[in-house]
Structure 1
Amino acid sequence: MTIDRSAVTRRSVLAGLFATAAAPTLANAPSRSPVPPARPAGVPALTDLATRAARPAQPTGSLVDLLERSGLSGETAVIALDAETGAVIEEHRADLRLPPASTAKALTTMYALHTLGAEHRFVTRVELSGGTIRNGTLTGDLILRGGGDPTLQTEGLARLADAVIQQGLRRVEGRFLVDETALPAIAAIDPDQPVSAGYNPALSGLNLNFNRVYFGWEVQGREARLSMDARSDREVPPVSVIDIRAAQRDLPVYTHDIRGGREHWTVAASALGRTGSRWLPVRQPGVYAADVFRALLAARGCHLPQARHSTAPQGTVLAEVRSAPLTSVLREMLRFSTNITAECVGLSSSMRQGVRPRNLHLSAESMNAWLADRYGAAGLALVDHSGLEEGSRLAPRAMATYLLAAGREGILPTLLREHPMRSEDGQVLQSPPVAVHAKTGTLNFVSALAGYAQPRGGRAMVFSIISADMAARRRIRDDDSERPTGTRAWTGRARALQQDLIERWAGLHG
């Protein structure tokens, strides 16, 4: 077999660059708690982007040769279709079902849009029940009611607290009720993830800060001062229902359990070498949110009794905060690949469909059936809405069938992030020969990319690429599972292959 040495050199550069960028993309929420910066208004059409670049080069060699030269272990399945006719441009094992990783979020997007509506907003409310406010005292109950909002931040709870203070409330004689039953309570998206993975929190109808708590440690000499809080840009409310202590050990780095209604973390003292911080997942979201709300009100001079968690009767609305419209929520979900957003909008959609899912598997079954019925995407076997759990399976042909049909409705390509194409020295091309809007997907030893591509002067395409080394996944040691040996280099090679494939198809179809 003849090998193009210039192609190998270029691929090595790109693989190294992609490997460097691979670590933080395991379907995590933003590293800071505030809502991410607003996306610039308007999304340029793929055809507009493509007109600014040179035509793609004609490919040399076969698809099988390209796959072999990638040096990627495991299995790779791919397909590219003409976006207008649906004709196959090229395929390889396109019916092989593999884990889609976060490309599953592209499927959840249209399920949510059609079920909930583009203008749907999640609402979190404070209500009064059985009494009135007199001289600063509420004689009845105060209710904090979640509406399944996956994007609620400490800043939003602070706005609720300010509104309550403006109503004159300073004390509650009745109960402080917390209702998080808008969605089922789920202890973790994927129980097999590392215990400290911030991208794998619990879910409920009342969520806060992507259901993560801020853990900070300040090293002073041989001691480290540990703290937990629910910080925003403006406030740093303390958290009293989650604690952490250092333990004299090396491994495991973190442990977690729930006792007496509280969450207890330990961290290996040897891991606290220098002052630092990170976000840890929350396993009791309603308890966490209620605790932070009490702290915010206490700082404003209003004192609440301890929270009681139950289904509360509808009361008189005292204040509310609303999420951004669903289209904005989904755009941010696709940009940052936030698992909690995908799961909450998926669960909310299934419940709107009349399903009462006890877990994510049942909700995903409802979505699989809906997608097959509306878009003809047969054989989907997703077990959640985010793609985090490796048990999900789909074939590239099914994904491409979905993208083809959904793309004709117009909105999905505008929600997907513009996917960067890179030069031979690894720089992002400002005017690439092919413009791509796509969703990435990354798990340890799994890499996927699915979306739309518009070659310069050519016809638009839809494509789906999935690579997975399931044997390597099974070899991951428990104590190494947050950053397994070899996964970064493997992911870099997978991403370099993805660009090679897109450029190849652009040349074939240009």
Structure 2
Amino acid sequence: MSPVMRCCLRSTVALLLLCLILPVHASDFETLSRLLDKGFRISAEARLLDEDRVLAAIEPQRLLSPASVSKSYLAAAALDRWGPQHRFTTRLVSTREPDSHGVLQGDLILDGGGDPALTSEDLWRLVQRLYQAGVRRVNGRLLVSQWRFGPVECLTYDRCEARERTRHAYSALLSSAGVNYGNWCVNVAPADTPGEPAIVTDCDSQVAILAIDNGVVTRPDNSGTEISAVRITRDGRDVMRLSGQISTNAHPRDIYRASADPADQMALTLLAMLDQAGIAVSGGADTTQQVPSSEATTLAAVDGKPLQELLLRTMNYSNNYMADMLALNLVEAPRADLRSAGAAIEAFVAGIPEHGPVTLFSGSGLTPENRTSARGANALLDSLYHRPSLFPSFVATLQSPDNGVMRFIRRGSDTFQRHVMLKTGTLNQPVTVRAVSGYFRTARGRWGAFSVLINGTDSTPYLSWSEVLDPLAVDLERMIDNH
């Protein structure tokens, strides 16, 4: 073989090797790709949307856990199914009508509509409308029907633990008849005199709904306030166990903890509100999974907030309760569970061109079994970008690092902070997951999409968000400036 041929052969081999390497260590992800040297698994891609041009990629088709980036899939599927202005309705129904004295001779049934943002304020409006309908007494029971879904199998550790005890609000269990995001709320205020127990009341009622074990002591001015709260279940009843201290000059504090049974929480809360409105219920309150009779008529109803507002809260605050409630609503058949909810989102994704495989066990991303790729996540973003009727509502759910509600994303240069809209995802168990996906606008005003999924292993170190966002900001800034 001549020297010229050997030279050409070496050049060809080198070029082939370069082509094989570039998808893993693309030049414009030069800074981010250094995490590969620490043993992290990465799927990343950035592309322009007006010409479908890939600017950078690191194993873009590798399937990894997206954590809360799963919520982007939920948001897109929900907008596709219902549209931005859809509202969920909660009703009070009965097979009887109130008589001339306002007495309802039969059960009053709350038909849980699956509203993920139903609050005590909404229940007060519902009770007021029942009062306006002439009801003054119920000679029967208050039944809370969760026939659409609930109680839902917990699947994740924190939610399963919350059936007995919890120190968290984010681990709320799920029911189509849930209220206040599945959380109990108590208000802790200082007593007038140091040494006395703090004053603890229910946030939503003048009378006690939740059992309270108060161990918070009032201390002198400026002594500091430290309150520990755990919700436990004792003898079939939820109890808020509080300990710590509060200064006499401290502001009252609201404490939120997930309930053990959201439908039961609804029943107790609504029963207390009916009582305070002067509507007596002789038979107490209970829950049911039965569908209200077709002969039942609506006595009062309240519509929730528009879907676009629900998604703004779901995405900005990465609210797991709201995300999974919305996903469960996507299931057509009664008795929905999280896996069938994930399957409903998967069915939507199947219609997105060039997306590829996806596995979703939940809409929230709390389930570590969820899998997608950077290329798939970008295909989702691209599909929404090309739907003018839905894109404004979808992109509004993402955060700008410059002014987003999550302070940890406020990193990088002004270019990154002001030209990017994103959704993040975080898991720490069973392995570290840091995921981020969203849109960017280039210096010339062109739209781009980027998705970065980083998964650790049992042997990789802890990964902080600064270790992800700082190099990503450097790489994206280069793309933004160059295009």
Q: Which interval holds the TM-score relative to the shorter structure?
A: 0.7 to 0.9
**Separation in structure 1 between the aligned mates of residue 417 and residue 104 of structure 2, nearest angstrom:** 65
**Separation in structure 2 between the aligned mates of residue 125 and residue 357 of structure 1, nearest angstrom:** 19
Q: Which residue of 2 aligns with 1:365?
A: 343
3-state SS, counterpart of residue 115 of structure 2: coil
1:77-92 alignment to 2 at 5 Å? 77-92=43-58
Unaligned runs of 5+ in 2: 1-25, 217-227, 404-409
Quickly say closer, same or farther: Cα 1:223–1:365, change in 2 above 3 A.
Answer: farther
Q: Which residue of 1 aligns with 2:182?
A: 211
**Separation in structure 1 between the aligned mates of residue 370 and residue 245 of structure 2, nearest angstrom:** 36
Quickly say closer, same or farther: Cα 1:357–1:404, change in 2 above 3 A.
Answer: farther
Q: Which residue of 2 aligns with 1:202?
A: 173
Runs of 4 or more, structure 1, over 6 Å off, are 69-73, 426-433
Task: Give the deviation of 1:346 after TM superposition.
Answer: 1.0
Task: Give the deviation of 1:461 after TM superposition.
Answer: 0.9
Matched, 1:138 2:107: no
**Separation in structure 2 between the aligned mates of residue 280 and residue 433 of structure 1, nearest angstrom:** 34
Matched, 1:229 2:202: yes
Match of residue 405, structure 1, among 383, 392, 412: 383
**Separation in structure 1 between the aligned mates of residue 208 and residue 454 of structure 2, nearest angstrom:** 41
TM-score relative to the length of structure 2: 0.77
Q: Which residue of 1 aligns with 2:255?
A: 278
1:82-481 alignment to 2 at 5 Å? 82-186=48-152, 188=154, 190-192=156-158, 195-218=166-189, 221=194, 224-225=197-198, 227=200, 229-231=202-204, 236-244=205-213, 246=215, 256-267=231-242, 269=243, 271-272=244-245, 276-304=253-281, 305-310=283-288, 311=290, 312-314=292-294, 315-351=296-332, 355-356=333-334, 358-410=336-388, 411-412=390-391, 413-421=394-402, 435-444=419-428, 445-471=432-458
The answer to whether the 8 A contact 2:267-2:285 is kept is yes
Equivalent position amino acid for 1:381 in 2: T
Equivalent position amino acid for 1:408 in 2: H
Matched, 1:495 2:469: yes
Task: Give the deviation of 1:116 after TM superposition.
Answer: 2.9
| Residue correspondences, number | 421
TM-score relative to the length of structure 1: 0.73
Is the radius of gyration larger for structure 1 or structure 2?
A: 2
**Separation in structure 2 between the aligned mates of residue 265 and residue 108 of structure 1, nearest angstrom:** 33
Unaligned runs of 5+ in 1: 1-59, 248-252, 476-485
CA offset digits 1:61-90 (Å, max 9, x no partner): 763444428998734331101212322110
Quickly say closer, same or farther: Cα 1:66–1:177, change in 2 above 3 A.
Answer: closer
**Separation in structure 1 between the aligned mates of residue 121 and residue 319 of structure 2, nearest angstrom:** 19
Quickly say closer, same or farther: Cα 1:434–1:454, change in 2 above 3 A.
Answer: farther
Equivalent position amino acid for 2:439 in 1: Y
Quickly say closer, same or farther: Cα 1:192–1:255, change in 2 above 3 A.
Answer: same
Quickly say closer, same or farther: Cα 1:225–1:341, change in 2 above 3 A.
Answer: same
Task: Give the deviation of 1:223 after TM superposition.
Answer: 5.8
How many percent of aligned residue pairs carry the same amino acid? 23
Does 171-180 or 213-222 show the bigger shift? 213-222
**Separation in structure 2 between the aligned mates of residue 70 and residue 239 of structure 1, nearest angstrom:** 55
**Separation in structure 2 between the aligned mates of residue 433 and residue 295 of structure 1, nearest angstrom:** 47
Q: Which residue of 2 aligns with 1:46?
A: none
**Separation in structure 1 between the aligned mates of residue 145 and residue 352 of structure 2, nearest angstrom:** 34
Quote the RMSD (CA, aligned, Å): 3.3
3-state SS, counterpart of residue 185 of structure 1: coil
**Separation in structure 2 between the aligned mates of residue 264 and residue 286 of structure 1, nearest angstrom:** 16
CA offset digits 1:13-63 (Å, max 9, x no partner): xxxxxxxxxxxxxxxxxxxxxxxxxxxxxxxxxxxxxxxxxxxxxxx9763
Task: Give the deviation of 1:431 after TM superposition.
Answer: 7.7
Higher relative contact order (CA 8 A, sep 6+): 1
Task: Give the deviation of 1:367 after TM superposition.
Answer: 1.6
**Separation in structure 1 between the aligned mates of residue 375 and residue 387 of structure 2, nearest angstrom:** 19
3-state SS, counterpart of residue 476 of structure 2: helix
Equivalent position amino acid for 2:209 in 1: S
The answer to whether the 8 A contact 2:267-2:286 is kept is no
